[in-house]
Every structure is written in structure tokens, then in C-alpha cells.
Chains A and B, each alone.
Chain A
Amino acid sequence: MTALESAWRTLSPWAALPAALGMLRPQALVQALPGLVPIVALVANVEAIGLREVGVGLLGLLALLAVYAVAWQRRFRYRIDERSITVQRGVLQRSEVELGWERVRNVDVRQPFYFRPLDRVALIVEGSGGAEEEVAIQAVDRELAEGVRESIASHQRVATVVDDGPSAATAAAVDHAPAQAVLHQPSTGEILLHGAINGRAFALLLAGIGALFSAGQPLLQETDVLVDVAETVTEQVIALGVAALVLAVPALLVLSVVLVVVSALIALVRFHGFTLWRDDDRFRLRHGLLESRERTLRTSKLQAVTVVETAVGRLLGRCHVLAHQASSAEEGVGEGNDGTAEVPALTAGTVQPLVARFDPAYGRRPPLAAIEGAFLRFWVTRLAGVLVAVGAAGLGALAVWGDASTALLITLAVLLVVAVAAVAWAVHRRWRHWGWTTDGDVAHVASGLLGRRWESFRLNRVQQVTLRRTPFQRRHGLATLAVSLADGDRQVPFLHEADARALANLALFVAEARPHREL
């Protein structure tokens, strides 16, 4: 570790590169959209502006970006001493941020691919005050970054010793993951499989279906052959339906396969070389293909741990773990910046021992209590009721004014019954997956529809407790309990009121009698 001097330092000239690239991020471009729209409109409407002018304009814009990035790099100053980091930044509007080690929530050492030949890294120090308190030092020597991280770790270790007694203090200066401390290191194949089944493909598919239908609409309108043979409205509906199915089913199949592959590749880029290891009172994660990231996860700052099993993952006995740290609203932007660390590619056999390393009590899977059956009644009657009402009204209208054949009406009625049965099945499945229990001062909450999430957290981290009762719940003596942790709310719906009160009382007792103070 390099001795940390308190002199002001400047950034390496290479730091201008990520600064310039940062201005070309999609989020930055979206923010610049209001300014770009009139320029694009001008370019499109003024005939004197051709491709050459547009090219020159773009080059000029890039030159301006480069000048700004260099100015930003040259005006950036930072000072690191034994207890804090101070940063002066900004080109026109200057600001100074001082972040004491005691307020540091996470230290992130990242190495984008363009820093690898230079062996330089980006040091990201996150404070507990959110984005305002985040300090990023670009293109620093790895040795300095490791030194800062060790200095912060040592400081916080001492603070923990003061809080928890001497048992927490052990010396550990780890530059690389020691083999015996490695907790999880999935192979490339396992990461690809994780990407294929982690549910991201499904989200992409839903977005794709929307795009497909809007893109396919003109195509359907062009299917004159099918429309021409159908003379009545009913026949047109059938013809369009058949055309949509003929076009959509193979397209959806191809799209699904493509998206699963894309999702697997995204996972590979994100989690390539994933290594999770224990380093004294904290965990470290290193992963990334294009940008190698190294994150620190302090056990004392863990708010909750979630085991996620997607629908396909359940079939294959695969899952992943989310370790939640406190986050603020400003930090929700960008993957991996929301305080949650993902541990991918786990199996039914490896997940519990790993979760137990985060907290021994989280490793147990006590039997869960179900939520009240009124959940089923409430949602089935309402969802199925709406479906039946809308469906019956549609069928009635079709029968009276639509000139529909009996066969079509029967088919639609059967489809309606199937839809109602599907809704009832989905509600039942959701109800069956809800579960909760307490194990000492640890709460476990499970939920899900096709997949399942099992969340565990200590009640001494509860920030606030809320009991909600809708008119239906009041009539049936029920309540929904929500407990707020520093990283978000967890709720259990449709509890018997006495159970909800007992759980609220317990959460408040633990939070008030022996609260965990670190966020």
C-alpha cells in the first residue's frame, strides 16, 4: 500500500477518455434530446445542409466534447489523507466534496477494457448520502486504488471493533482472492446458463412482442387476400386472427431464441470471471468482461438477502442471490449502482451454504406460514369478475349486433372460460408462493408467481412499520404489514390481523431495543 499523502493530486490525462465516453452514454444523450430535436429538425428542413455539413457538424461536436473532457480532467483535483478523500471538480461550476471514511458505504475498483494495457483503474467511493456523495477518481494506479481501499477497510474495521468487541478484528490485506476464501466462482457455461434463465430474456421478449405487434400492424393490413375473402365483420376478425397467429407464432419463437441467446451473452459480459470471496468482515466480488469491476460488500451494511428462482430456474434447480445494501433514490440509475450485488449461477445445493456466509440465520429455511385464504377470494372474484363482465358484454354485443355465427360465439365463450381458469390458477399460485415466518430476530418472506423469491432480513434493521387495512381486509379481520428497510419496503399482504400486529410488535421491539445503526 502506498503511503497516503495529503497533497492535492491531478488526474492522469487518460482520465479524459472515460469523461468523454460518459457524455456519450445513452442516459446523457436522452438528457440532451430536448436540445437535439430542433437541430435535427433544422437539418431535415434546410436544403443547404447536406451530408458533408452534417459530418463537419458532428466532428465539431466531438471536438467540443474532447475539449470539455480535457478541461474537466485538468480542473479535477483530489486529496487523500488517512481519514478522508476530498475532490474539487467541475469545469464552469466548481464543487468540493469531502468524504470521510466513516461515511463510505462501498468502494468499487473498476477496470474498463481501455485501461487494461495501462494497468489503470477507476476508483469509485460511494458515501451513504447518495449520488451527491459519490466520488470517482478515473485512471489512477491500481496500487493507489488498493491503498485507498485498504485504508478505508482498516478505518472501518477499527470502528467495528469499537462497536462489536475485539472478535471482529483480524488482519487481512488481500490484493487477489486467496483460493481458500473463494466462496463462488461459476464457470463460463454456468454464467451463460444463468443468463439464459434469469428472466431477463422474458422481459426482453415482452418488449419485443410490443414492438412486433406495432411493426406487424401494417403487414396485417396488407394481407388483402385474406381480408377480401371475408365478407362479414366476423369473418374479417377470424381472418385477421389467423393471419396474426400465422405471422406471430414463428416470429415469436425465433425472437424467443434470439433473446435467450442475447440474455446469455449479456450475462457473460457482465459476470465473466465472477469471483466472490470473503475478506475479513466483508465480501468482495470481481466480475466483468469489458469492464472488470471489483465491489466490496460489508456484512454490517447488508440489509437483506434474496434468493431468486426463476420459473425455468426452478425446473433446472438453478438460482441466484441478491445482496441488498442501503441505496438512495438518486442511485437507482445504471446497473449495479443501486446498492444490490448479484451473485449468479447458483444451484439448489450451493445456495444455502453461501447465504449462510452472509448471515448464519439466513442459511436456515424454516417452515413458512401461509397468508390468509381471503387473498384468493379477493383477487379471484375481482379479476375473474372483471374478465367475465367484459367478456360477457363483448359476447352479447357480438351476438346482437355483430352477426356472429353460433360456432364463433361458443369458441369465444370457451376462450373466456379458459381465461378465467388461467386467472384463478395464477392467483392460486401467487397465494401458494406467499409465505412468512420469523426465526429469532430474522424475518423470512417468500413470494412469486412462476418463479419464487425468498427474502431474509434482520428485524433490527427495520426503519419503520406500517399496517394497512382496506375495507375488505377490515371486514375479514385482515391486514397488510409493510416493514421499511434502508433499501426499500418488504410487505406481507392478507395476514390475520392478530398475526400482523404480533409481527409489527416484534419488529418494533427488536428495532427499538437493539437497533442496527449502520446503513
Chain B
Amino acid sequence: MTDGGAGFENAQIDVATLPDVAGVALEPAIPAYPRYSVTVHGAFGLAATLAVGAFVGLVVDLRWGAVAALAGLLLVAVPLAVYGRLYARRFGWALREHDVMTHTGVWWRTATVLPLVRIQHVELASGPIERGFGTRRLQVFSAASGSADLTIYGLTPERAQRVREHLLRWVGEEPGGHDGA
């Protein structure tokens, strides 16, 4: 940054020739991930449905409790499980030479791109159910916020470890410091 405009450069960039964030071939999550997502979302919906059914059954009548549970199953648990499957199948990620990106969302679609030079740290995470399905997630953090800036779901343990090591090599690196993936 200079003062008073001395030495200030403002070369025009041909935007049309820049690498495009669209049209990148995305890697899907491993096949176990949709099953995991359906299980978790469905189980959550089922638990909520059973709780409501039990409450109605105890407070009003057992028959109405059964009706509430059935209605909850059809209106909450099944749609949630379907949402879980759609979310997992629509999820995609890609590692480019200079950034990592994810595509998430069923109705509200979000494409997030994080330049590799911005990576502050990387966490390999998994809960017990994820481990049961053999799937791992990788959380990538930049200085932009306190929460995970980008999460790659549905990785095998080996692949998650390899991607993590690749990303970690960029922490504190200058641009052009690597040959890419």
C-alpha cells in the first residue's frame, strides 16, 4: 500500500480468462456417506416423532398418541431421511491447485471456495456413528471466522488423512510454494 497514489498499480485483468469456479468436476462422498446421512437424519426424526407420540399418548389418549407418532413418521421422520439422502448425494468437493471447494445444500445451494494459502489449520473429525459407517470429515479453517469455514464430508479414513496432509503443507506457505495436488 502506498500513500498519495505514488507507485499504485492498477493493471486490468481479463476476467474472462480466469479459472472458473463453475464447471469443476466434483468428487462425490463415498457411498457409505448417504447411508450414514439417512441413518442420522432418520433417527433424529424418529426420536422426535416417538417423543411427541409418547407425550400425546400420555396426556391425551394412547390412540391419539399412535396417530401422532404415525403422522410424525410420515411428515417428519421420512422427509428428514429423504433430505439426509439428498443432502449427501448432492454434496461434492474438489481440490484444485490453489483452492479447495465444496458444494452443499438441497434447496439452498452453496458453493464455498477456500484458497489454500488461507488455511490456518485442518481437523480430521469423526463421531462414533460416522466411524461405524467408515466415513470421516475434514474441517478446514481460515482466519475468516471461528467456526469451520469448509467441511469435506464422506471421506474414507485413508483419503481423509492424505487430503489433510496435503492441505497442511499449505499452512503458512507463500503462493506458488507447491506444485499442486
Q: How far is the CA of A515 from the CA of B176 in the complex (A)?
A: 11
Q: Which residue from A326, A506, A517 sits with its C-beta under 8 Å from B18?
A: A506
Residue ID in chain A nearest B106 by CB atoms: A471
Q: How far is the CA of A184 from the CA of B110 in the complex (A)?
A: 43
Asked whether B117 lies within 8 Å of A484 as measured between CB atoms, the reply is no
Residues in A whose Cβ lies below 8 Å from that of B116: 512
Say how far A108's CB is from chain B's closest CB, in angstroms: 21
Known: A299-B1, A502-B15, A506-B18. A466 touches B110 (CB 8 A): yes
Residue ID in chain A nearest B8 by CB atoms: A360
Q: How far is the CA of A285 from the CA of B146 in the complex (A)?
A: 28
Asked whether A467 lies within 8 Å of B149 as measured between CB atoms, the reply is no
Does A341 have its Cβ within 8 Å of any Cβ on chain B?
Answer: no
Residues in B whose Cβ lies below 8 Å from that of A484: 142, 144-145, 149
Q: Which residue from B2, B16, B19, B150 sits with its C-beta under 8 Å from A360?
A: B2
Asked whether B21 lies within 8 Å of A465 as measured between CB atoms, the reply is yes
Q: By CB atoms of chain B within 10 A, which of A328, A441, A464, A474 has the most?
A: A464
Does A357 have its Cβ within 8 Å of any Cβ on chain B?
Answer: yes
Asked whether B15 lies within 8 Å of A505 as measured between CB atoms, the reply is yes
Q: How far is the CA of A110 from the CA of B146 in the complex (A)?
A: 29
Say how far A156's CB is from chain B's closest CB, in angstroms: 14
Q: Which residue from B19, B111, B118 sits with its C-beta under 8 Å from A509?
A: B19
Q: How far is the CA of A4 from the CA of B162 in the complex (A)?
A: 47
Say how far A309's CB is from chain B's closest CB, in angstroms: 25
Residue ID in chain A nearest B1 by CB atoms: A299
Q: How far is the CA of A312 from the CA of B181 in the complex (A)?
A: 55
Residues in A whose Cβ lies below 8 Å from that of B10: 361, 439-440
Does A10 have its Cβ within 8 Å of any Cβ on chain B?
Answer: no
Main secondary structure of the interface of B (DSSP, over half): loop
Does B13 have its Cβ within 8 Å of any Cβ on chain A?
Answer: yes
Known: A463-B149, A508-B115, A515-B118. A167 touches B22 (CB 8 A): no
Asked whether B3 lies within 8 Å of A465 as measured between CB atoms, the reply is no
Say how far B133's CB is from chain A's closest CB, in angstroms: 28
Asked whether A511 lies within 8 Å of B117 as measured between CB atoms, the reply is yes
Say how far A133's CB is from chain B's closest CB, in angstroms: 14
Task: Report A472-513 CB contacts with B as 1/0, cut-off 8 Å.
Answer: 001000000000111001000000000001101110111111
Asked whether B175 lies within 8 Å of A513 as measured between CB atoms, the reply is yes
Residue ID in chain B nearest A497 by CB atoms: B22
Asked whether B109 lies within 8 Å of A515 as measured between CB atoms, the reply is no
Residues in B whose Cβ lies below 8 Å from that of A485: 144
Asked whether A360 lies within 8 Å of B5 as measured between CB atoms, the reply is yes
Q: How far is the CA of A486 from the CA of B118 in the complex (A)?
A: 10
Say how far B19's CB is from chain A's closest CB, in angstroms: 7
Residue ID in chain B nearest A499 by CB atoms: B15
Does A88 have its Cβ within 8 Å of any Cβ on chain B?
Answer: no
Asked whether A501 lies within 8 Å of B21 as measured between CB atoms, the reply is yes
Q: How far is the CA of A519 from the CA of B113 in the complex (A)?
A: 19
Q: Which residue from A299, A440, A468, A505 sits with its C-beta under 8 Å from B19?
A: A505
Residues in B whose Cβ lies below 8 Å from that of A361: 8, 10
Residues in A whose Cβ lies below 8 Å from that of B110: 466-469
The residues in A between 432 and 480 inclusive whose CB is less than 8 angstroms from any CB of B are 439-441, 462-471, 474
Say how far B60's CB is from chain A's closest CB, in angstroms: 29
Does A9 have its Cβ within 8 Å of any Cβ on chain B?
Answer: no
The residues in B between 1 and 53 inclusive whose CB is less than 8 angstroms from any CB of A are 1-5, 7-13, 15-16, 18-22
Residues in B whose Cβ lies below 8 Å from that of A517: 117, 174
Residue ID in chain A nearest B12 by CB atoms: A440
Does A98 have its Cβ within 8 Å of any Cβ on chain B?
Answer: no
Does B114 have its Cβ within 8 Å of any Cβ on chain A?
Answer: yes
Residue ID in chain B nearest A281 by CB atoms: B1
Say how far B92's CB is from chain A's closest CB, in angstroms: 14
Residues in A whose Cβ lies below 8 Å from that of B164: none
Residues in B whose Cβ lies below 8 Å from that of A328: 146
Q: How far is the CA of A511 from the CA of B113 in the complex (A)?
A: 11
Q: How far is the CA of A513 from the CA of B110 in the complex (A)?
A: 24
Known: A484-B149, A512-B99. A464 touches B144 (CB 8 A): yes
Residue ID in chain A nearest B11 by CB atoms: A440
Asked whether A360 lies within 8 Å of B118 as measured between CB atoms, the reply is no
Q: Which residue from B7, B8, B22, B118 sits with its C-beta under 8 Å from A501?
A: B22
Q: By CB atoms of chain B within 10 A, which of A300, A329, A441, A463 has the most?
A: A463
Q: How far is the CA of A62 from the CA of B132 in the complex (A)?
A: 57
Given A440-B11, A464-B144, A465-B21: 13 more A-B contacts, CB < 8 Å: A360-B4, A440-B9, A463-B142, A464-B150, A466-B112, A466-B113, A467-B111, A468-B109, A502-B15, A505-B18, A506-B13, A512-B117, A514-B175
| Interface residues of B, Cβ cutoff 8 Å to A | 1-5, 7-13, 15-16, 18-22, 98-99, 107-118, 142-146, 149-150, 174-175
Cross-chain pairs A/B with CB under 8 angstroms, 26 sampled: A167-B7, A328-B146, A440-B12, A463-B115, A464-B115, A464-B142, A464-B144, A464-B149, A465-B114, A468-B110, A470-B107, A471-B108, A484-B149, A486-B143, A501-B21, A505-B20, A506-B13, A506-B15, A508-B18, A508-B115, A510-B13, A511-B115, A511-B117, A513-B175, A515-B118, A515-B175
The 6 A-B residue pairs with the shortest CB-CB distance in the complex, in nearest-first order = A484-B144, A463-B144, A440-B10, A512-B98, A505-B18, A360-B5
